[in-house]
Amino acid sequence: MKLNVPNQLTIARIVITPVFLALLLWDTLPHRFLIAALVYSIAAITDAIDGKLARKNNQITNFGKLLDPIADKILTTSALLGFMMMDLCNIWIVMIVLTREFTISSIRMIAAADGVVIPANFWGKLKTVSQMTFTILIMLLGECYQYLPRVFETLPHWMTLSNISNCLLWITAVLTVVSGVIYIKDSKNVIDFKK
């Protein structure tokens, strides 16, 4: 099976993800936060490009519809797991995000079995954009905390990297819940759950 360019970009995002996570967790690597942020940004850019290309060139496929959201989830979840290992993400944030993702993925599979495609809603897109944006911001702040510590000496003592990171990620967790609830509500209108 020959893959079109949008689907190739989606697969590239999946392949890039473990590279990103390895760089983020490589604690002896100089400027690991900056390097990981660059690799993550490249992966995030493929997310923006593949959908636009698929729509523009009429290359929307069932393969892409299925794999694109999975690639997004793999990328964003890997960052949360990496941050959790570095004490930059509360475990409950990861739990909330994973619960939502597994639930919505299950609903998508049920819908697909009925031949129904439920598009991502505004809140879902906002959730993904905020996760990716905040992830990059957290890594850039990590770079600054590591190599420009004097910049942060004047900040209140509670403004640690961990506290800032968790605050940003709790925002994404709230958006995750909101988007999930709306998605479930919308799915009730198009899926017969009694089957």
Q: Where are the domains of the chain?
A: 5-187
pLDDT in tens, 43-73: 999 888 877 777 777 777 766 677 787 888 8
Within 10 A of 164 (CB to CB), how many other CB atoms are there? Answer: 20
Q: Is a pLDDT exceeding 80 seen at residue 102?
A: yes
Say how far apart CA 66 and CA 52 lie, in whole Å.
16
pLDDT in tens, 135-156: 999 999 999 988 888 877 777 8
Q: Is a pLDDT exceeding 80 seen at residue 113?
A: no
Long-range contacts of 184-191 (CB under 8 A, 24+ apart): 184/103, 184/104, 184/107, 186/118, 186/121, 187/107, 187/111, 187/118, 190/111, 190/116, 190/118, 191/107, 191/110, 191/111, 191/114, 191/116, 191/118
Rounded mean pLDDT of 149-171? 87
Residue of 79 and 1 predicted with greater confidence = 79
Q: Is a pLDDT exceeding 60 seen at residue 191?
A: yes
Rounded mean pLDDT of 76-88? 95
Residue of 30 and 150 predicted with greater confidence = 30
- Give the chain's mean pLDDT: 86
Return the SS3 of 7.
Answer: helix
CATH 3.10.20.30 fits 5-187, yes or no: no
pTM tops 0.85: yes
Q: Is a pLDDT exceeding 90 seen at residue 94?
A: yes
pLDDT at position 115 is 73
Within 10 A of 2 (CB to CB), how many other CB atoms are there? Answer: 5
Q: Using alpha carbons, list the distances in angstroms from residue 177 to 93, 106, 118, 151, 159.
A: 11, 16, 17, 35, 26
pLDDT at position 77 is 93
pLDDT at position 17 is 95
